[in-house]
Amino acid sequence: MLSPATLGVVTGIVGTITGLGGLVFSWINYRSMQQTKALDLRLELRKQVCDVHAAVKALPDLLKQSRASRHTVLAARGVGRSSASKIWTDEWESDLKISHALAGELPAADETYQRSKRENLESKLVEVHALAAKAAGVRDKYLAALASDDKEREHIRAFRLDSMSE
């Protein structure tokens, strides 16, 4: 039978081995979680890059559609060459330049970010989010302009129908 002192030493050794094993497994788990977080960031970044590419590439067509719509509505109202039309066109040209500048700022769509560190991935994710926000602002502005033009067309139609029925 073991003496109490020997039992204490054996128990201490077992506890030390268990503690060291827990430390090793904790470190392995920590490293695994860091790699998983980096993978999650890479995936999120690649998805956002893809989304922002689609949003920015759609802007020129949306702006051209919006310009044509606005010119048609202004012409139908008889104010196609007014100062309001000139102001709108100047703003439109500025926004077109912004859309081209956004296209120039886009990161490469085929980049995998495999060699990027987590901190760099986070920074790049913020940059891409800022680009997406700028693109969304321009997009929303011209979607609202198209909706406004549609309402104006309805008013013009209603006015013309009222004028014809009288």
Instruction: List, run by run, the mean pLDDT of 10-residue segments along the chain (166 residues).
Output: 82 91 88 83 92 96 96 88 91 96 92 84 93 97 96 88 71
Q: Would you state the pLDDT for residue 166?
A: 64
Q: What is the rounded CA–CA span in Å between residue 91 and residue 27?
A: 57
Interacting residues of 2 by C-beta distance below 8 A, sequence separation 6+: 10
For position 137, what pLDDT does the model report? 97
| pLDDT score, position 91 | 96
The total of other beta-carbon atoms located within 10 Å of residue 98's CB is: 16
Q: Give the 3-state secondary structure of residue 57.
A: helix
pLDDT tens, position by position, 141-153: 999 999 999 999 9
Name the pTM for this structure: 0.75
Determine the pLDDT at residue 1.
Answer: 67
Q: Please tell me the total number of residues recorded for the chain in this structure.
A: 166
* Residue whose C-alpha is closest to residue 41's, from 112, 143, 90, 100: 112
Confidence (pLDDT) at 30:
83
Quote the crossing angle between the two packed helices 83-105 and 4-77, to the nearest 10°: 150
